[in-house]
Amino acid sequence: MHSTDYSSRKNIIIGVFLLVAIIFIIRLFYLQVINSSYKLSADNIVLRKVREYPPRGLIYDRYGKLMVFNEAAYDLMVIPRQMKDIDTSLICEITGIDKLTFEKKLRKAKRYSYYKPSTYMKQISKKDIGKIQEKLYQIPGLFIQTRTLRQYPYPIAGHLLGSIGEVSKREIEKDNFYKPGDYIGKSGIENYYEEYLRGKSGLKIVEVDVHNRLKGKYSNGKFDTIAVAGKDIFLGIDADLQLYGEQLMQNKKGSIVAIEPKTGEILALISSPGYNPNLLVGRERSENYSKLLKDTLIPLMNRATMGTYPPGSTFKMVNALVGLQDKTLTKYTEYGCKGQLSLPIKCTHDHKTPLNLSEAIEQSCNPYFWNTYKSILENPSYSGSHEGYEHWYENVTSFGFGKKFKTDIPFEVRGNIPNNSYFDKLYRGSWNSLTVRSLSIGQGEILVTPIQLANLSTIIANRGYYYPPHLLTKMEGQDEVLNPYFNEKQITSIDPDNFDVVRTAMLDVFEADNGTARWYKLDSIKQCGKTGTVQNPHGDDHSIFIAFAPMDNPQIAISVIVENSGFGSTWAAPIASLLIEKYLNGESQRKSLEKKIMEGNLLQGDKNKRQH
Amino acid sequence: MRNREKISGNVDWVTVMIYSILVFVGWLSIYTASAGEDVSTLLDLNTRYGKQLLWIGFAILLAGLILIIDAEFFSTFSYVFYLGLLLLLIGVLIFGSTVAGSKSWFKIGGFAIQPAEFAKFATALAMAKYLSALNVNMRALKTKVISVGILILPALLILLQNDTGSALVYFSFGIVLFREGFSGLLFIAALMMTTLFIATIVFSETLVISAVAGIVFIIMILFKKYRKNWKPIFGIMILAIAFVFSSNYAFENVLPAHQKNRINVLLGIEQDLRGAGYNVNQSKIAIGSGGLTGKGFRNGVLTRYNFVPEQSTDFIFCTVGEEWGFIGVSVLLILFMTLLIRIILLAERQRSKFSRIYGYGVASILFFHFTINIGMTIGLAPVVGIPLPFLSYGGSSLWAFTLLLFIFLKQDANRLNVL
């Protein structure tokens, strides 16, 4: 037996060794160099992208009082892929749910994504989150995400501030800024200034180990982006005035709008009944929301911007101004009044006759304004009452009636000033001033919103111009006003001189011996006002009052509507006067009046009626 | 005959150098996989890298000791080692502790010794001793039976410990037997059997049998000479069909479920990324993410953050792949190949048959470990837990491979003294 016989077999053996090595090299070349999917998988395994939520911008009032701030809340997030060998009973124990609910939640999360985190439990309180955090390391796949909730130091201004809520599917599709579970401004200021308030979210890339424990920043944070806080905004609202107004309006239906005439900044925007904005925050949001939605007093509706009313007697001043501008009326023009017997519109007020313009405004004489209106429409310089009406229409709409201001006011409606073609259609072309006579005293087809009425008061205070009523005054980090339109002077078709007689008459409403608001006269402030009573076919008349003060340097223009409260001077006038006093003097001296108004409950009748 | 002065000069320093590099790379990989952010001392016995440093120290002592001891010592006491290890293998079945499902460890104090690791070099010694005996006739059936018996005995005992991987290592002695004159047909038959086995699992029994019958039929038509001489062809065919049936039966009914599962995953029949396939998938991702040049020392996040199971023992190759990339693993493969071929060439230059056969035994065992271990990390071999020689963490395996290699180096250094 020669061993050398087989020594050549070493070549075969070496060949086999090399073959294996070559196969390995090829395989490794494929794995490491050609196929890049393994690198992606590696990143997916080790890296976790953590979204950093920016704090939402704060909202301040005109004096820098905080109206909206943020409070931390905690969401428990789940990544289904990492949920391996988990102790279900432990999860149920620490999160306080039963096994069935847990499985349902997990299934839902899996349906959304196996790899991406989704919300498992929302808005957990600080106290509860502490307990969960202690045990969390035992449960792979669960982690805590810090979020912020809105909080309101004053329980006011829910309508105008609006609320934030979770983004809907549609909103995510529209703007890729949002991810499921994000919050977005749903209404009011929160919605209008969403893109400034929301800030910019950051992205932190971290490395985790197999137990999902944080190991450190990826590439020393080279690829991280920092969350940028949302911008703080300042509103023209006076939080104290807003609060005071809401207190005055409690247990009453209606609205208050107060505007600073020099700027158009809204000082108060009140709709009653309102709601505490803290109700629409966090986990209770949806429950409270549906409760508010079902309330028959419709507290969710912003009456100040969405409510439309016939302006009643307050509109007489508009007709007077148009007449003065057209020279179909002078301050000396006198018309007679036969009281209840007047035709075609009777007068419900008891006063002297004949009377001049100032007295007619003061006494709110219906026949006087019917005559004023008739002479505007039947002005001989026009071909007829149709052309006269068209002219009247243009004048009236220059006051901002019949259209939206299109600023940052939430949920605005247009109201209605009927135009020629409306009447042409309605009366098949045959109509004249008599047909549309109701418009002379602010009844009929005319509908205005409380904010338009406040703007009327502003126009009279300013003698013929206004700035579009708006809420925002300043935004953090922005020197100029965000929207130049807010500062654009809107000039009406009425010359400044023509306002004098109206203003004097409005002063007399407070100051004259027989003024309709004489009980609310103040020695310290020269107030101008006008009562209105709006006939309401559905029940008691609405009480309306518009006012501004002080007369020579108007700081505040206001409109107050109290529904179903009867004559304008009983509720609306004192409320307006108290607000003026509060705003100008910081406090009202008329404590008994204040108390009487605040305690006045006009909803009793409503409640009784609803119980029947 | 003894010439101690010459030993240092005769030792094959190339092999020693490669050995040292491999051990060092292994330690680096264990260090990167097990060290935390701050390391106070390298010899921290609470850590794997600290312990391994200690094992390496002992391994160097062991290597030195072997080089000093008389070369004849190992050939003389071959059977004693073999029998001793067999007794230990039996002993571990009775007194041993179970680690990871295998009852193959002796626990002494805080340390554990795995006799199966040492049984390899003892079997190599015994095989060399038996086949190098002057009166052995390679063609005799008795020789074949005894030599196969020598390797089957420890393999069976290890199989009883439920350590399939280590038992399979003894198949590698097939290379030794082939070199010493066993028929190559045996290996061709083994190759065919493997092919049939895999085909049976991947496809179906009936399909494979029809294919075998079909091939025979085609041969009969195409080659006239086989038509006359059909008996052996038909014999092979019947054997093949019998093998298909029996292997299928064995696979379905005899093989433990987890082994079956691993084979299924390997062959791509099952996609099981959470169970048996999890390790391999994580391992492939770790290696694949290394890219061409790797992520750099201590930057292999997957291995460092425990995403790859057993990354300092059986899956240590992943660490190298992730941190040093394709270039790194290529260098490692070249080192291993150089070592293996070097051992073959050293074996061939031996005057003594014992030394040559033992040398082939060393090469075969190392080759088998190399193939299966790296193969499993890159998804080319089933996951059987056997270490990568010189790199994997563990005292038993490092010492066993050191013994295995340095006994051969001692024989080689001594080759000129053999008459």
Q: What is the pLDDT of residues A354-389, one digit of tens each?
A: 888 888 877 778 888 888 888 887 777 877 777 778
Let me know whether B8 and B154 are in one domain.
yes
Does the residue A190 lie in any domain? yes
Per-residue pLDDT at B269: 63
Assign residue A136 the CATH number of its domain: 3.90.1310.10
Q: What is the pLDDT of residues B157-191, one digit of tens each?
A: 998 888 888 888 998 998 998 888 887 777 788 87
Per-residue pLDDT at A211: 64
Let me know whether B363 and B224 are in one domain.
no
Confidence check: pLDDT of B129 > 90: yes
Per-residue pLDDT at B80: 95
Let me know whether A208 and A275 are in one domain.
no
Q: How many CB atoms lie within 10 A of CB B341?
A: 17
Cα distances from A371 to residues A212, A328, A395, A504, B200, in angstroms, run 84, 10, 18, 21, 109
Let me know whether B325 and B247 are in one domain.
no
User: Lowest-pLDDT range, A592-606, B303-317, B375-389?
Assistant: A592-606
Per-residue pLDDT at A541: 80
Cα separation, A70 vs A72, in Å, equals: 7
Region A330-336 average pLDDT = 81
Please report the ipTM that was assigned to this predicted complex: 0.89
Phi, psi of A204 (to 5 degrees): -110, 130
Confidence check: pLDDT of A595 > 80: yes
Are the beta carbons of B286 and B318 closer than 8 angstroms?
A: yes
Does the residue B312 lie in any domain? yes
The closest of A269, A281, A194 to A238, measured between CA atoms, is A269
Per-residue pLDDT at A146: 74
Let me know whether A112 and A261 are in one domain.
no
Where is the domain boundary, A188, A215, A234?
A234
Which token pair is A36? 């890049």
Confidence check: pLDDT of A545 > 50: yes
Assign residue A321 the CATH number of its domain: 3.40.710.10
Are the beta carbons of A60 and A110 closer than 8 angstroms?
A: no
Let me know whether A221 and A269 are in one domain.
no
Cα dihedral across residues B246, B248, B254, B256: positive or negative: positive
Let me know whether A426 and A278 are in one domain.
yes
Share of residues in chain A with pLDDT > 90 (%):
7
Omega cis (within 30) before A574: no
Per-residue pLDDT at B276: 60
The band of A606, judged by pLDDT with boundaries at 50, 70 and 90, is low
Does the residue B330 lie in any domain? yes
Does the residue A258 lie in any domain? yes
3-state class percentages of chain B: helix first, strand second, coil last, to nearest 5: 70, 5, 25
User: Lowest-pLDDT range, B68-72, B251-255, B289-293, B391-395?
Assistant: B251-255
Where is the domain boundary, B205, B221, B254?
B254
Let me know whether B140 and B235 are in one domain.
no
Where is the domain boundary, B205, B222, B254?
B254
The band of A609, judged by pLDDT with boundaries at 50, 70 and 90, is very low
Alpha helix (H) residue ranges in A30-125: 37-46, 88-95, 99-112
Does the residue A251 lie in any domain? yes
Where is the domain boundary, A171, A200, A234?
A234
User: Lowest-pLDDT range, A22-26, B275-279, B313-317?
Assistant: B275-279
Does the residue B185 lie in any domain? no
Confidence check: pLDDT of A481 > 70: no
Q: DSSP for A288-323?
A: HHHHHHH-TT-TTS-HHHH--B--GGGGHHHHHHHH
Contact A207 B305 (CB under 8 A): yes
Does the residue B268 lie in any domain? no
Q: Which domain holds residue B395?
A: 4-180+273-417
Does the residue A164 lie in any domain? yes
User: Across B68-121, where does the E strand assignment appear?
Assistant: 97-99, 102-108, 111-113
Burial A415-427 (b: 16+ CB within 10 A, else e): bebbeeeebeeee
Distance from CA of B243 to the nearest CA of A (A): 26
Distance from CA of A221 to the nearest CA of B (A): 15
CB pairs under 8 A between A and B: 116
Let me know whether B159 and B290 are in one domain.
yes
Does the residue A25 lie in any domain? no
Let me know whether A327 and A192 are in one domain.
no
Share of residues in chain A with pLDDT > 70 (%):
94
Contacts of B178 in chain A (CB under 8 A): 9, 12-13
Where is the domain boundary, A234, A268, A290?
A234
Q: Which of A17, A37, A84 sits opposite B367 (nearest CB)?
A: A17
Per-residue pLDDT at B342: 96
Does the residue A499 lie in any domain? yes
Confidence check: pLDDT of A608 > 60: no
Task: Output A242 or A108, whichever has higher pLDDT.
Answer: A242
Contact A27 B380 (CB under 8 A): yes
Let me know whether A227 and A272 are in one domain.
no
Choose from A112-121, A409-418, B19-28, B249-258 the range with maximum mean pLDDT: B19-28
Confidence check: pLDDT of B236 > 80: yes
Let me know whether B284 and B387 are in one domain.
yes
Q: What is the pLDDT of residues B38-84, one digit of tens each?
A: 677 777 778 888 999 999 999 999 999 999 998 889 999 999 999 99
Confidence check: pLDDT of A610 > 50: no
Residues pairing with A78 in the sheet: A118, A142
Let me know whether B12 and B156 are in one domain.
yes
Confidence check: pLDDT of A3 > 50: no
Region A140-162 average pLDDT = 79
Omega cis (within 30) before A469: no
Residue of B171, B301, B333, B365 to mutate for A, most A C-beta atoms under 10 A: B301
Let me know whether A152 and A269 are in one domain.
no
Q: Which of B179, B321, B380 sits opposite A10 (nearest CB)?
A: B179
| Element holding A272 (H helix, E strand) | strand A265-272
Which residue in this structure is represented by tokens 């498992």? A120
Does the residue B225 lie in any domain? yes
Let me know whether B216 and B120 are in one domain.
no
CA A182 to chain centre: 20
Contact A42 B286 (CB under 8 A): yes
Let me know whether A198 and A322 are in one domain.
no
Q: Tally the domains of chain A.
A: 2
Which residue in this structure is represented by tokens 């006008």? A530
Does the residue B260 lie in any domain? no
The closest of A260, A258, A276, A253 to A268, measured between CA atoms, is A258
Question: For residue A581, which amino acid is it?
Answer: E
Per-residue pLDDT at B346: 94
Does the residue A601 lie in any domain? yes
Let me know whether B291 and B231 are in one domain.
no
Q: Tally the domains of chain B.
A: 2
Does the residue B259 lie in any domain? no
Region A430-453 average pLDDT = 81
Q: What is the pLDDT of residues B186-235, one digit of tens each?
A: 778 887 888 888 888 777 788 888 888 888 888 888 877 777 777 778 88
Region A69-76 average pLDDT = 80
Per-residue pLDDT at A1: 42
What torsion do the CA atoms of A397, A401, A405, A410 make, to the nearest 10 degrees? Answer: -160
Contact B329 A28 (CB under 8 A): yes
Let me know whether B171 and B200 are in one domain.
no
Contacts of A41 in chain B (CB under 8 A): 285, 288-289
State the pTM of this model: 0.62
Let me know whether B198 and B285 are in one domain.
no
Which token pair is A603? 């909803």
Strands A465-466, A265-272: pairing is unpaired
Q: Report A:5-64 residues touching B (Cβ under 8 A).
A: 5-7, 9-10, 12-14, 16-18, 20-21, 23-25, 27-29, 31-33, 35, 37-39, 41-43, 45-46
Contact B305 A210 (CB under 8 A): yes
The band of A315, judged by pLDDT with boundaries at 50, 70 and 90, is confident
Chain A: residue whose CA lies nearest to B184: A9
Let me know whether A277 and A310 are in one domain.
yes
Let me know whether A230 and A246 are in one domain.
no
Contacts of B137 in chain A (CB under 8 A): 1
Q: Which domain holds residue A99?
A: 49-234
Choose from A154-163, A411-420, B130-139, B366-375 the range with maximum mean pLDDT: B366-375
Let me know whether A207 and A246 are in one domain.
no
Where is the domain boundary, B224, B254, B284?
B254
The band of B108, judged by pLDDT with boundaries at 50, 70 and 90, is confident
Let me know whether A166 and A308 are in one domain.
no
Does the residue A29 lie in any domain? no
Which token pair is B254? 């005899």
Confidence check: pLDDT of A575 > 80: yes
Q: How many CB atoms lie within 10 A of CB A272?
A: 25
Let me know whether B221 and B341 are in one domain.
no
